[in-house]
């Protein structure tokens, strides 16, 4: 295949392939970094959603009584009023 290529390509093949590889490395690093960041943020949002879903009954009780236990920790809401009807 290289024999059918122009002579300038055969003479400059190391430089062309090196520049092409550097460009590909830059593109891969840029897109993989963005994809990894997006995946990490989506994972954090999903974990937060699962934690809220798993603790929905303690959160409901907390809204009514202003004191609750979420994830094994006792929480008192200081600005809450248990007289409010929910």
Q: At what angle do helices 13-54 and 56-65 cross, to 10 degrees?
A: 50
Distance CA 58, CA 45 (A): 20
Higher per-residue confidence, 70 vs 54: 54
Q: Is 74 left (phi over 0), alpha (psi -120 to 50) or beta?
A: beta
Residue 3's pLDDT band (cuts 50, 70, 90):
low
Per-residue pLDDT of 64-78, as tens digits, reads 777 778 778 887 777
pLDDT of residue 45: 95
- pTM across the whole model: 0.52
Q: Is the pLDDT of residue 53 over 80?
A: yes
Mean pLDDT value of segment 41-47: 93
């Amino acid at each position: 295949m290289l024999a059918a290529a122009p002579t300038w390509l055969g003479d400059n093949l190391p430089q062309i392939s090196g520049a092409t590889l550097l460009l590909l490395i830059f593109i891969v690093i840029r897109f993989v970094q963005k994809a990894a960041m997006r995946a990490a943020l989506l994972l954090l949002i999903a974990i937060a959603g699962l934690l809220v879903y798993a603790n929905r009954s303690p959160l409901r009780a907390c809204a009514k009584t202003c004191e609750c236990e979420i994830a094994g920790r006792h929480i008192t809401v200081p600005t809450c009023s248990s007289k409010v009807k929910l």
